Structures are given as structure tokens and as C-alpha cells.
């Protein structure tokens, strides 16, 4: 599977709440930087975020654009779903995935809207 396909697969897995499979596409020493929060460092922090801290309860990522260049894959789209507090949200986002080999090593997320 190529890097762009891995990124597409990430969104499919997270939307399906198949987190255990999703964790396998990231390096154990990953760093995830998300707008407005402290970086998550390592798979243990990443797992905790997705399993216990993430504000989203369910939803779908719609991809507008995926661009691959070397070890980087950028993706942009819209998320529509429900937060854990029951609020319905729609927000635009952009992610930058930096690969090491066939796994995502660094990830950066930016939101165009202030709901997340």
C-alpha cells in the first residue's frame, strides 16, 4: 500500500472506530501535533487520546485533496459528526503526515473552524 493509500485508510479506520487497526499504521515513537493542544508523544499517548480523550464520538471525514511529496502526504477535507457531548459539528481540517518507511511518524492537524 502506498503512502497516499495509507492516509486514506487512516480516515476509513478512524471513521469506523477501528482504532486497534489504525494504531498499526503509526510508528511507536510518533509525535502528533494538533492545533491548540500539547503534542502527543508516542503510541501510548496517541492511544489514550483516541480511546479516552478525543472529543468526537462518531462521524465521517470527507477528503477533498490528498497530495504526496516524498515522505509527506497532505490531506484536506471536512469532518461531520457528533461530539461526546452530543453536539453536531462540521469542520474543515488539514493534516500533514510525515512517513518513516511505510508508517506515519509525525502528524500535524489544523482546523479552519473553532469547534474542535
For 57-97, the pLDDT digits (tens) are 999 999 999 999 999 999 999 999 999 999 999 999 999 99
Overall number of domains in the chain: 1
Q: Is there a domain that residue 69 lies in?
A: yes
In a domain, 39, yes or no: yes
pTM for the model = 0.92
User: Is residue 116 situated within a structural domain?
Assistant: no
3-state SS, residue 1: coil
Instruction: Say if residue 114's pLDDT is above 80.
Output: no
Mean pLDDT of the chain: 94
Query: 40 lies in which domain range?
Result: 3-111
In Å, how far from its chain's centre is CA 17? Answer: 12
Half-sphere CA count of 36, side-chain side, radius 13 A: 7
The answer to whether the CB of 94 falls within 8 A of the CB of 112 is yes
CATH no. for residue 106? Answer: 3.10.450.50
Reported as half-sphere exposure (CB side, CA atoms, 13 A), residue 42 has a value of 2
Amino acid at each position: 500500500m502506498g503512502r497516499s493509500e495509507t492516509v486514506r485508510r487512516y480516515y476509513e479506520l478512524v471513521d469506523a472506530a477501528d482504532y486497534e487497526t489504525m494504531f498499526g499504521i503509526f510508528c511507536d515513537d510518533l509525535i502528533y501535533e494538533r492545533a491548540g493542544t500539547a503534542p502527543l508523544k508516542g503510541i501510548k499517548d496517541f492511544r489514550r487520546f483516541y480511546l479516552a480523550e478525543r472529543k468526537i464520538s462518531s462521524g465521517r471525514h470527507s477528503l477533498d485533496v490528498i497530495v504526496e511529496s516524498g515522505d509527506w502526504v497532505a490531506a484536506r477535507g471536512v469532518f461531520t459528526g457528533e461530539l461526546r457531548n452530543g453536539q453536531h459539528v462540521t469542520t474543515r481540517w488539514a493534516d500533514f503526515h510525515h512517513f518513516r518507511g511505510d508508517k506515519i511518524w509525525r502528524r500535524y492537524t489544523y482546523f479552519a473552524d473553532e469547534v474542535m
